[in-house]
Amino acid sequence: MWNVIAATLVFSLAAAGAAVAAGGDDTTAEDKKRAAEQQAIYDAHQARLKAAGLNVRADHDVLDYQLLDAFPKVVLHTTLVHDKGVEFMGYFVNGKRYGKIEDAKAAFESRGWSKADAKTREQIALEWVAEVIVRNSAFRAGAKNPPKITTGKDGTITIVGEIEVQHRSGPWGQNLDGVTMEPRTVVVTKDAQIK
């Protein structure tokens, strides 16, 4: 699961931190506790970015990066696109940027892809596909109908699952008209290319 720091957290840290540091008269014990918890999350996020070789310049820059628990040495470079949500611009491994998330070789190698057995490769591929490529709650190992994984003789991994599709209408898609489950197949080649 992503360890994402929400914009409100980052932008509220400065104000909350200043209030706690100043010992302001209207700062309650609950406010101080919440500010300390937020600061701890922020510090942990910053530490992981630095461990991955990234030097983040300012608090707002943190919002452009996401961490994956399954890939601790990988940092995703993201941006927020209006009416679309988060879009991946690439990823970093050990401070080096890779521009295409469909070329996952460096990310997979951070988990030992080239030396891994077939079962481990399947797990690595499923975690990348579920968290980065598909990003749909129905396409996960713990889902009601989890994806099925097969490995061909040539080492190609095929992941077949289903995704939840929401059908919406009205201004800004405010009306949920229905939900369907639709098939989704993703192929991961032996050299970690996503098709």
Hey, what are 193's tokens? 């290319």
Query: What confidence category does residue 7 fall into, taking pLDDT thresholds of 50, 70 and 90?
Result: very low
Tell whether pTM > 0.85: no
The string of pLDDT tens digits covering residues 160-174 is 999 888 888 888 778
What's 82's DSSP letter?
T
* pLDDT of 4: 41
Rounded to whole angstroms, the Cα distance separating 82 from 27 reads 36
Going by C-alpha positions, the residue among 58, 92, 53, 62 that lies closest to residue 76 is 92
Query: Which phi-psi region, left, alpha or beta, contains residue 85 (left: φ > 0; alpha: ψ -120 to 50)?
Result: left
